[in-house]
Structure 1
Amino acid sequence: MFSALNHPLRDPLSNELHARPFLRIDGPASVSHLAIYCEHDKEIHDRLLDALAKAMGLPAPAAAHNHYTAKRGDWQIKWEKHTEFSTFTFVLSNAQTELFSGAAMRELPASWIDLLKESVLVAVHAELRCAAQAEQARTEVRERLPGPVLVGSKVLSGGEVYCDWLVHEDHFSRFLVLDLGFREAQAGRLIQRLFEIETYRMMALLALPDARRHSQFLGKLDETLSALMQRMERPGHDHDDGYLLRELTHLAGQMEAHAGLETRFSASDAYEKLILARIAELREERIEGFPTIAEFMQRRLLPAMQTCSSVWARHQRFATRVARAVDLLRTRVNLAQEEHTTALLEGMNRTARTQLRMQHAVEGLSVAAISYYVLNLSGAALRALHAVDIALNPEIVEGALIVPVVVAVVLFTSRIRRLGHADSPA
């Protein structure tokens, strides 16, 4: 009855805390771990699990699952799906086999292994030995882990871990775990943490090839940007602004085309934090003559991670420089356009003033012409009146009319001009 009151996400979120339980491993045990990563085939993870369950007669995985476990006698499998990869962990308990013989994977069908193709990013064998077998395995450490650097430490106050971080002839890395007094389930938690450290290390390093390529790419772009900025600062090259703006915009486009690398570098940074957290959970204590896992990662992994972070920081700084250069050039282009527009307006003003003066001159000529025609008409009328014996002198009267006619014409044209100004829009 109360279940109807629950939020739809309550049960899924609550179950998330229990979605990935630790392995329970009883020693001696042989454990193998595979991490599957294929950026071009996102469906490979579920496909591999379904194929393995069917080939080995295991229970079918549930739909929309991120975790799967199955057990058959002393053999068990654990599968987990993460954001970018999935992991298969195979455990053979009570193993009395030779160290690092891959006993936990012997039952896997060859047809299923062929399905892995080139998707295995991490492959690790771990051997757990207890009591007298642990003492015997300790004497074989140098033989079983012949890498140039042998790492070893006391962990969880009850055991020891040895590894050389080397991919051996069988294409597997190796961890040797000695149970010298682990409490219940500590061995399983320890081995899972070791697998996570190795998996996250490889996932973090996926950004390193991109960082190296991108560093060379940024170097070329930096040379191009410097040349463009020097050309922009040379005197007398204002006519190149259009070309420079196109080139800088092209650089900005190239930077945006590589902005997708941010996802890879951000993921690398997140994986590095997980590695450091898992190492801290080991609670390592030094074994005389052996570097600890934390020291090894500090010396070997940290420089690679710093390379990735520095390359991305350089990318962001360069993108800022390109954006600033584009803004500066656009500002210069806008100023040049404003100066050109101002010059055009001044030219238009000069033309308008010239036209006004010409208009005034034409108006003056118009007054003279109109007055001349009016006086001629008046003279003709006066001569006609004189011809009919009206007593007047046409020349005297015509001369007397000159001033009144001119004044009348001036007043008439002025009125017309005022009426035109009044009718024109503001």
Structure 2
Amino acid sequence: TTSFLRIDLGEFRLRWEQHTEFVAWTFMRPMRADELLTLSQGAPQPAATLAPSAWRQDLPGQCLTQVDLWAVPRAEVDGAAVVRQIFDASTVTGSTVISNSCDLHTDMQMRGDGSIRMLVLVGESAPGKVSPRRLGRLVQRLLDIETYRMAALMGLPAARESGAWLAEGEAELAALAQAVRQAAREDEAELLDSLTRLAAELEGRYAATHTRFSASAAYFNLVEQRLADIAETRILGMQSLHDFMQRRLAPAMATCSSAEQRQAALSQRIERVSGLLRTRVEVEQQQSSRELLATMNRRQDLQLKLQSTVEGLSVAAISYYVLGLLGYLAKGAQKLGWPFTPEATIAVAVPVVVLVVWWSLRSVHHSIVGRDDNP
């Protein structure tokens, strides 16, 4: 896909360049001799007006910025008169650029047609003579400065909107943090839900603005690079273009940077408060678990005590049934020649059976208790 195009259309030349977020159209034409003579009486016709108006209106997208720039020989015009005529009564910046070879003037004010104006008075005599190639690079850098300035400012509306929301979010988080300190156990779920909702809303805003803020910072860096490239020297009594950017653009970029930093800081604070609340909930859950285990242990002890209480009854009952079976066995044995009566046999067996049953139950009891004590 083509991202750069340059065409000579006779009356003017067209330069088209595609960037990541925008497209730059540059219209260029040479200035006629009669226009130089009358330059102090009015601004010459911009090159873009030579293109059909219907075609210009049909260009896709919205206009980010429009620059009317004139580069004229410094020796052939009355510089002060031209500056007054082109910029009216506006406050004009003034500086020499590229080793004092050219004078740069602009007021950075948007006019009724949406354009701003720049004037470059070009040195044509030694030692300040400027080659066409060097002048072309200067013009391109000046156009880049304005283009990237406006692109950087695209993040300002988002920063202002985020600033208003962040003020509310910070106040809400402060209230939630205070509520966490005083909350009862039954309020913790609602507080955690509020923190989760606030975190989700912040994450959504961060995702929506992070790319814009990062792009604005990148464009601002490009503006500063281009300003360094043109090597400005301020004309005495006038503000330089770099000074203008520091007074107008730098605060806007600081607003974007501040909004991004506040988003990151708020996210970290939400995470800390959420972590504190989760820790509190976990501690309370552990306490509840310990209380439940203690209750279960008490119940088990009670069951063992109850079991010990009825152990005597269990011994008697089991012994009774065992002796009953032994009585049937003694009756059968008597018929087979057993010398003792069933009653005598049972009487002799009673202490033995009771002792064996008691010892067996006791062994089982100690075995169960031993397994519980040594899991």
Distance 2:312 2:271 in 1: 61
* Closer, same or farther: CA 316–177 of 1 in aligned 2, 3 Å: same
Distance 1:423 1:206 in 2: 73
Is residue 179 from structure 1 mapped to residue 116 from structure 2 by the alignment?
Answer: no
TM-score, length-scaled by structure 2: 0.85
Post-superposition shift, 1:195? 0.7
Post-superposition shift, 1:268? 1.0
Please say if residues 92 and 238 of structure 2, whose CA atoms lie closer than 8 Å, have aligned partners that are also in contact: yes
Post-superposition shift, 1:412? 4.7
Corresponding position of 1:20:
none
Corresponding position of 1:188:
136
Q: Which moved more, 1:112-121 or 1:273-282?
A: 112-121
Distance 2:184 2:175 in 1: 13
Structure 1 residue runs without a partner (length 5+)? 1-63
* One-letter amino acid of the structure 2 residue matched with residue 347 of structure 1: T
Post-superposition shift, 1:415? 6.3
* Closer, same or farther: CA 202–384 of 1 in aligned 2, 3 Å: closer
Is residue 159 from structure 1 mapped to residue 102 from structure 2 by the alignment?
Answer: yes
**How many equivalent pairs are there?**
358
Q: Which moved more, 1:166-175 or 1:350-359?
A: 350-359
TM-score, length-scaled by structure 1: 0.75
Is residue 316 from structure 1 mapped to residue 264 from structure 2 by the alignment?
Answer: yes
Post-superposition shift, 1:276? 1.0
Corresponding position of 1:42:
none
Please say if residues 134 and 180 of structure 1, whose CA atoms lie closer than 8 Å, have aligned partners that are also in contact: no
Post-superposition shift, 1:133? 3.7
Post-superposition shift, 1:121? 0.5
Post-superposition shift, 1:138? 3.1
Pick the structure with more helix per residue: 2
Distance 1:420 1:191 in 2: 95
SS in 1 for 2:298: helix
* Closer, same or farther: CA 377–277 of 1 in aligned 2, 3 Å: closer
Post-superposition shift, 1:384? 12
Corresponding position of 2:70:
127
Distance 2:194 2:328 in 1: 81
Post-superposition shift, 1:69? 0.3
* Closer, same or farther: CA 399–162 of 1 in aligned 2, 3 Å: same
Is residue 116 from structure 1 mapped to residue 59 from structure 2 by the alignment?
Answer: yes
Structure 2 residue runs without a partner (length 5+)? none
Corresponding position of 1:230:
178
Please say if residues 207 and 264 of structure 1, whose CA atoms lie closer than 8 Å, have aligned partners that are also in contact: yes
Q: Considering only aligned residues, what root-mean-square deviation do their CA atoms show, in Å?
A: 3.3
Distance 1:398 1:231 in 2: 78
* Closer, same or farther: CA 411–107 of 1 in aligned 2, 3 Å: same
Post-superposition shift, 1:370? 3.1
Post-superposition shift, 1:143? 3.0
Q: Which moved more, 1:294-303 or 1:366-375?
A: 366-375
Among 7, 27, 39, the alignment partner of 1:90 is 27
Is residue 268 from structure 1 mapped to residue 216 from structure 2 by the alignment?
Answer: yes
* One-letter amino acid of the structure 2 residue matched with residue 258 of structure 1: R
Distance 1:270 1:384 in 2: 109
SS in 1 for 2:296: helix
Distance 1:276 1:311 in 2: 21
**Percent of aligned pairs with the same residue?**
35
Corresponding position of 1:16:
none
* One-letter amino acid of the structure 1 residue matched with residue 197 of structure 2: H
Corresponding position of 1:144:
86
Is residue 258 from structure 1 mapped to residue 200 from structure 2 by the alignment?
Answer: no
Is residue 287 from structure 1 mapped to residue 229 from structure 2 by the alignment?
Answer: no
* Closer, same or farther: CA 278–361 of 1 in aligned 2, 3 Å: same
* Closer, same or farther: CA 359–138 of 1 in aligned 2, 3 Å: same
